[in-house]
Structure 1
Amino acid sequence: MLNKSSIATRLPPVHALSAFEAAARHNSFALAADELCITPSALSHRIRLLEDFVGERLFSREGRAVTLSEFGRRYLDVVRNALRTLTDFPMPHRGSQAQPRIKITVPPTFARYLLIPHLGAFLAAHPDIVIEIFLSVPLYDLSLSESDIEVRFGAGRYPNTTTEKLFEEPAFAVATPAYLEQIGGIETPADLRKATLLRSALEPWQPWFEAAGLDWSEPSSGLRADDLGLLLELIRNGYGVGLTRKHFAQEMIAKGELVQLFDVSLTSPPHAYYLVYEQKPYERPEVTIFISWIKKTFKQL
């Protein structure tokens, strides 16, 4: 008798089967992706997953055109029969309308400091819409996932997507009062020579140096954190001076835990938060509603 695990290893992933069937029916990955409300890259990933499972090529690819391979044509009949069996099975509650659902992917610091504090207003206005939040890694995760909407922190160059900057946010230097006392105080930007400069690829120092009139290069040693929240924690715990933004540090500054240094802010930092989504969000009203809400909410910050 086969155990459950051995049966599971013989079953192809259903989401890959539906992607294969749609791509075969349309002879197009792009049209199939539109039908399934996913990105073309996500659909290609599903097709590759199924090809790895069956050990055969399902499509012949010539530029943007795709045609079924000989094996693909034979396998398609099996897949369609299996899917037809599933869809034809009587469902007593099939007529009940599914609750609209939105998948959003956001960087962790944005989620913690900006999205979560404001999300209650959206949920109160639209209690029928389910929100699912996933985290992404800024700068490194540059391919649109299967999420409906993404907020990305970066340079804003994301091909084949609709990309809109959420808000302008200057970057400035901060430190704790205890750290400043420890190093004997800082009066001018040039005094940063005696400080430990905390580093992050997300918040580079060199553009700020230029704004402060310093002909310095990017620091190459010292603590580094490629997460804005972790960078802020390093600053708050007295490890050195770092760059941050108003929406992250304003409460700590108001409480006296951090001090903004100098009257120098980088008005247009190289990285910002961008709203990124597919070209046709209007096909799902709940997605359009959320896009409108997040743009209005963060334009007012």
Structure 2
Amino acid sequence: MATRLPPVHALSAFEAAARHNSFAIAAEELCITPSALSHRIRLLEEFVGERLFYRDGRSIGLSEFGRRYLDVVRSALRTLTDFPMPHRNAAVQPKIKVMLPPTFARHLLMPRIADFTQRHPEIVVELYLSVPLYDLSLSESDVEIRFGAGNYPNIITEKLFEEPAFAVASPAYLKTLPPMKSPADLKQATLLRSALEPWQPWFEAAGLKDWVEPSAGLRVDDLGLLLEAVRHGYGVGLTRQHFAEELLARGEIVELFDIRLRTPPHAYYVVYERAVRERPEVDTFISWMQNAFRNI
């Protein structure tokens, strides 16, 4: 039977928090967010089956078990640290972990990221995908790009850019419908739904003030998949220029009407915790992002 070992990253988080008597200072030392450090402590507490800290408001203190366990953990970490490794002299490259939505990553970041890596070859960039409107914690990433309303309390939130939203459909699907001469003709169409691109604001911009958000039909909460549903002729959807420009240029989808919602409810934001930006590589990446998307 395999021996189950405690997670090493949780042990280091526990030791740092106990040494500083502060989750915030320990998180800064380990270059992670306070919420990520708290998660590691909870993980270790679940492993040992005991409380390691007592929390009283903003202050923390070791439990009796925590004090005894700390001696064991420090001894184990010291053994690992003191083990001779003569070949480990190379400098560690600065690294930044970025969480971002898949459609943004594919259509907007990938065409531009080479500029950053050429300017800053010394910085390692790691990209991880998240689901907009669902993954709302910074977890263990340094920076997140979020698509939403921008209401993220207790973290720094800066708008990258916003684009108008407009209606599109495939030519094949339009052939199955009566002519689309005005927005009111959409009553004959299937409207594809997405929490990321709600129809109600577009209805108001189109003068359809009595129309309500569709409640039936296909729902897709990924902007790239929404475009694929449009391309395959499942209905009419809302999209934005930088996502749709290739399909529009090839004629695989067409824009309906001359109505664009100039200020849609959702935009792209760069999100991070204040302490993280003190790391030079993180500040460099955020500044590059802001400059790269300033005039999009």
Q: TM-score, normalised by structure 2?
A: 0.97
Equivalent residue in structure 2 for 1:170, among 164, 172, 195 = 164
* Number of residue equivalences: 295
Once the two structures are superposed, residues 244-295 of structure 1 have per-residue CA deviations (whole angstroms, 9 ceiling, x without a partner) of: 0011011211222211111111111111111011203443211111111111
Equivalents in 2 of 1:278, 1:93: separation in Å? 35
Distance change in 2, residues 1:12/1:234 (3 Å): same
Q: Show structure 2 runs of 5+ residues with no match.
A: none
Equivalents in 2 of 1:122, 1:185: separation in Å? 47
Shift of 1:243: 0.2
**Are 2:259 and 1:264 equivalent residues in the alignment?**
yes
Equivalents in 1 of 2:112, 2:172: separation in Å? 32
Shift of 1:128: 2.1
Equivalent residue in structure 2 for 1:294, among 254, 277, 289 = 289
**Residue matched to 1:147:** 141
**Residue matched to 1:226:** 221
Q: TM-score, normalised by structure 1?
A: 0.95
**Are 2:27 and 1:39 equivalent residues in the alignment?**
no
> For 1:93, what is the secondary structure of its paired residue?
coil
> For 1:200, what is the secondary structure of its paired residue?
coil
> For 1:275, what is the secondary structure of its paired residue?
strand
Distance change in 2, residues 1:232/1:12 (3 Å): same
Equivalents in 2 of 1:280, 1:264: separation in Å? 43
Equivalents in 2 of 1:235, 1:193: separation in Å? 17
Equivalents in 1 of 2:134, 2:235: separation in Å? 26
**Residue matched to 2:153:** 159
Of 39-48 and 84-93, the range deviating more from structure 2: 84-93
> For 2:175, what is the secondary structure of its paired residue?
helix
Kindly report which structure 2 residues correspond to 1:274-289, keeping only aligned pairs within 5 A, or say none.
274-289=269-284
Shift of 1:15: 0.4
Equivalent residue in structure 2 for 1:207, among 201, 210, 213 = 201
Equivalent residue in structure 2 for 1:24, among 18, 24, 48 = 18
**Residue matched to 1:254:** 249
Equivalents in 2 of 1:29, 1:109: separation in Å? 35
**Residue matched to 2:44:** 50
> For 2:245, what is the secondary structure of its paired residue?
helix
**Residue matched to 2:268:** 273
Q: Show structure 1 runs of 5+ residues with no match.
A: none
Equivalents in 2 of 1:273, 1:168: separation in Å? 6
Of 81-90 and 222-231, the range deviating more from structure 2: 81-90
**Residue matched to 1:96:** 90
Q: CA RMSD in A?
A: 1.1
Shift of 1:209: 0.5
Shift of 1:43: 0.7
Equivalents in 2 of 1:189, 1:15: separation in Å? 56
